[in-house]
Structures are given as C-alpha cells and as structure tokens.
Copies of this chain bind each other. A is one copy, B any other.
C-alpha cells in the first residue's frame, strides 16, 4: 500500500471509527451471535489475489461487527471497563505508523526515554513514593497487562529469595492471574497459600497470613511473595497493605500490590487513602491505565521500589544485542523488565492521554465514575428488594436481588435468569460474582461515554426485569 493509498484509506478508517463512536448506542451491548457464526461467515482460505480496502471495510461491517461486544458502549457495565479514548487511539496509531522496536535503548532511544518519563509522571500524578521513580532506585515500565506485570514481579521475588520451596500468599479474592503466574514460574499450585478474608469487605486477614507464614517457616518453606490487592476484581475489596507490609518486612518477603483496576483512582487526592502503607512496605505495584484511565489496552504500569532484582532476574545478553549504550550503563533496556523481547512504542498513547486530558481531566473522569456508582448504590440501598454490598469506593456496585419465600437454589436460579435476560437483551451488559456462595450482580461504571442517564436507565431496566421475574 503506497503512502497515498494509506492516506486515503486511513481517512476512511478514521471516519469509520468516529462514526462508530458517535453511533455506538445503536449496537446491542453484547454480541448476539452463537458460537461458530462468525467463523462460518468467513471464507475457507485467504484470497490468492489482493482485494480492495473497501471490501475489507465492508466485510468488517457485515461479518465482524455482529460478533463484537461493545466495551466502549455506555451501557457496558460488565467486568471492569476497558477505557479507550481519542488521544489513546491516536497515540497507538502513531506507534503503529512508526513501527519501531523498543527492546533495548539502542533500537530506538525515544521509545525507552519517553516511557521512562511518562511512568515517572504517572507515579507523581498518583502520589506514589519518590523512590519508585527511575531517577531513584526504583522505576516503572509499561507491560501489556497486570497479569504479566505480576508475573514479572514474582520472578523478581523468586530471584531475590532464591528458588527453593517457594510459597506465594494470596487471598480467595486475589485475581486468578497470580495463580497463573505461580504455575508459569514453576511454583507449584499447592505452594500457593490462600489467606482467609474478612466477611465484609472481603479483605485479606493479616492474622491468618501470619499463621500461614509461621507454619511454612516451621516446615522449611521459603515464603517468597505476598500479593495484596487494592480493589479486588470481585468486589473492589482493599487488603490491609500496611499490616501485611509489616509482616512482609519482618520476614523479608516481597510485597506485591495488584491495583490493576483501582490504582489509577489515586489521581484524586481524596482517594489516596487506598495506598496506605504502600510507600513504606511495597516492593512492586501494578495498575492499568487501560482499565480506568482513558488509555486503550494494552497499558499496565508496573513499578518496583528497587529495579536491581528485577533486571537481574530477567537479563540475558546475546551477542547480537550487545551495544555501547547498554555497556555504558547509562541507559535502560526495558526488555529486561518484561517477558517478551520485542516491544512497541506504547508510551506514545499514555503520553497523548496525559497531555490531552491533563491531571484535571483525568481526575474528572475518575470522579464521574465514583459519583455515578455512589448514586446507583444509593438507589439500591433504598430499595427493599435488593441487598447492597456496602463497600463501593470506586466505580463498581455489587448487589443481589432478593427472592422472598424462595429456596436458596430457586433464588440463585432466579438471579441467574435475571442476569441472562438483561444480557441477552443487548440493552445492558453486567457480570456477576459470588459472595458467600450467592450470585451477586456487578455493575462496573467507568466507560467514558456513560452518563447519569445511562446508569438510571440501567437501574430501571434491572428493576423492570426483576419485577417481571418475580411476578
């Protein structure tokens, strides 16, 4: 494709996306297709001759779009939001257009240095400790996901502890990616300890953690890493980082914080309490600008308080990557901070987002989500037919419809039926979790397009469907 063809088709694609943004409410939130529908609609093999770009766009519209679930839809309340935004998309587009590799400083210095600058900027915006900045002992890096960031942290912890009967401590509410990281890193599943949580708000119990560590030490294990979560996936519970940190410090255990969803909320001063204990005790910390900070996936930031064990854990230097800049020690080679070797110029999108919105714009986005969630929680609390989970400091509201005079099993079936009817309708999309064995609705607010009216309409829709099922 020539530069001029690119210019023409590129503008078509920009128009297509702008129209998609403007018209997103015309789509059902959740795709209505059945397994295999899309595959069946596509040809058996690639074309022998090239095809015009218009044909590709037409097939996107006709074949692909019915199979898309619209994560940017204002009525998408499932999972956690996956924010995208104009400047984020355009930053990513610039990265694709430049097509550089940032595996080491020498392969494109700006790719490394802009990343260092924006992760330092973000650390400041979130009020994270100064010593995590790259001009101190720590440093940040953009990873593809919190899963990968947590795996990298575990590898640094394993390196620091030495590999010998290592144990990892999580709670039943910790994200599944930590168990997966353990499996990947060769820490057997049976050496992943599950710490009890308090009943509400489902936060890790430091007392039980202390017992497990003591028992493991008696049994000759090497307690290696604790993962504390700030904003669990299920209910946005917040583990007591300070008390966990005191235990970790006492035993020299690596403390990792998974703040994938909620960490970015600390752009707002009034939410910085979530990071209590982080500055004093935490070795590594992940948060996802791609969840709730207007940056399109993939953009997780991992910070470490000390970059040395991370780099030592992951450095392998073959001849073809040797170069004067690396050997001078003056530069960062981010390939030593991640699983893959290759890396895109991901900092461009975070840079574009931080500049376009500014700190004020980012705070406004978080505050809007928190305020809408607060409003919804108020409506739920006032309603006798729903049981609200009181804890909702961020954009997630969890609640459960009540089914008086029904058995637990029947009530469960009715809740699942309610959820299915809502999601099948295409009007709104929620997800669920289980609390005390009971299926609970999760309404995650945070898509940039979501307004008061969308939340109110969703609440009315849930009520109407509930009444229909109860009747």
**Could you tell me if A360 and B109 are in contact, using CB atoms closer than 8 angstroms?**
no
The interface size of chain A toward B, counting residues with CB under 8 Å, comes to 141
In chain A between 72 and 124, which residues have their CB closer than 8 angstroms to a CB of chain B? 72, 79, 82-90, 92-94, 96-101, 105-111, 113-114, 116-118, 121-122, 124
Expressed in whole angstroms, the minimum distance between the Cβ of A164 and any Cβ of chain B is 11
A379 within 8 A of B: no
**Could you tell me if A101 and B82 are in contact, using CB atoms closer than 8 angstroms?**
yes
Chain B contacts for A342, CB-based, 8 A: 82, 144-145, 147, 290, 297-298
Chain B minimum-CB-distance residue to A181: B339
Chain B contacts for A26, CB-based, 8 A: none
**Could you tell me if A98 and B20 are in contact, using CB atoms closer than 8 angstroms?**
yes
- Compute how far the CA of A296 lies from the CA of B94 in the bound complex, rounded to whole angstroms: 12
- Compute how far the CA of A86 lies from the CA of B13 in the bound complex, rounded to whole angstroms: 11
**Could you tell me if B94 and A13 are in contact, using CB atoms closer than 8 angstroms?**
yes
- Compute how far the CA of A176 lies from the CA of B322 in the bound complex, rounded to whole angstroms: 12
Chain B contacts for A1, CB-based, 8 A: 85-87, 356
Expressed in whole angstroms, the minimum distance between the Cβ of A136 and any Cβ of chain B is 14
**Could you tell me if A13 and B79 are in contact, using CB atoms closer than 8 angstroms?**
no
Chain B contacts for A100, CB-based, 8 A: 68-71, 82
- Compute how far the CA of A97 lies from the CA of B19 in the bound complex, rounded to whole angstroms: 11
**Could you tell me if A98 and B47 are in contact, using CB atoms closer than 8 angstroms?**
no
**Could you tell me if A35 and B331 are in contact, using CB atoms closer than 8 angstroms?**
yes
**Could you tell me if A145 and B360 are in contact, using CB atoms closer than 8 angstroms?**
no
**Could you tell me if B124 and A46 are in contact, using CB atoms closer than 8 angstroms?**
yes
- Compute how far the CA of A339 lies from the CA of B342 in the bound complex, rounded to whole angstroms: 15
Chain B contacts for A147, CB-based, 8 A: 339-342
A210 within 8 A of B: no
Expressed in whole angstroms, the minimum distance between the Cβ of A348 and any Cβ of chain B is 8
Chain B contacts for A314, CB-based, 8 A: 180, 183-184
A301 within 8 A of B: no
Mark contacts of A159-188 with chain B using CB atoms, 8 A cut-off: 1 yes-contact digit, 0 otherwise: 000010000000000011101100111111
**Could you tell me if B297 and A109 are in contact, using CB atoms closer than 8 angstroms?**
no
Chain B minimum-CB-distance residue to A336: B180
Instruction: Pick the interface stretch among A53-61, A214-222, A459-467.
Output: A53-61
Instruction: Pick the interface stretch among A193-201, A244-252, A427-435.
Output: A427-435
Chain B contacts for A340, CB-based, 8 A: 144-145, 147-148, 177, 298
- Compute how far the CA of A145 lies from the CA of B298 in the bound complex, rounded to whole angstroms: 14
Chain B minimum-CB-distance residue to A329: B35
Chain B contacts for A445, CB-based, 8 A: none
**Could you tell me if B341 and A145 are in contact, using CB atoms closer than 8 angstroms?**
yes
**Could you tell me if A433 and B319 are in contact, using CB atoms closer than 8 angstroms?**
yes
Chain B contacts for A71, CB-based, 8 A: 98-101, 107-108
Q: Which of A2, A339, A361 has the most B CB atoms < 10 Å from its CB?
A: A339
Cβ 8 A contact of A108, one of B31, B118, B175: B31
Chain B contacts for A111, CB-based, 8 A: 67-68
A325 within 8 A of B: yes
Cβ 8 A contact of A98, one of B68, B331, B341: B68
In chain A between 303 and 348, which residues have their CB closer than 8 angstroms to a CB of chain B? 313-314, 316-321, 325, 328, 330-331, 339-342, 344, 348
A355 within 8 A of B: yes
**Could you tell me if B183 and A316 are in contact, using CB atoms closer than 8 angstroms?**
yes
Instruction: Pick the interface stretch among A3-11, A270-278, A386-394, A406-414.
Output: A3-11
Chain B contacts for A359, CB-based, 8 A: 46-49
- Compute how far the CA of A298 lies from the CA of B116 in the bound complex, rounded to whole angstroms: 21
A17 within 8 A of B: yes
Chain A residues proximal to chain B, CB less than 8 Å: 1-7, 9-11, 13-22, 31, 33, 35-39, 42, 45-51, 53, 55-56, 60, 64-72, 79, 82-90, 92-94, 96-101, 105-111, 113-114, 116-118, 121-122, 124-125, 144-145, 147-148, 151, 155, 158, 163, 175-177, 179-180, 183-188, 233-234, 290, 296-298, 313-314, 316-321, 325, 328, 330-331, 339-342, 344, 348, 351-352, 354-361, 431-434, 442
Q: What are 14 pairs between A and B in contact, CB < 8 Å?
A: A6-B86, A13-B93, A14-B93, A17-B97, A35-B328, A39-B113, A42-B114, A42-B117, A46-B122, A56-B355, A65-B110, A68-B100, A145-B341, A319-B434
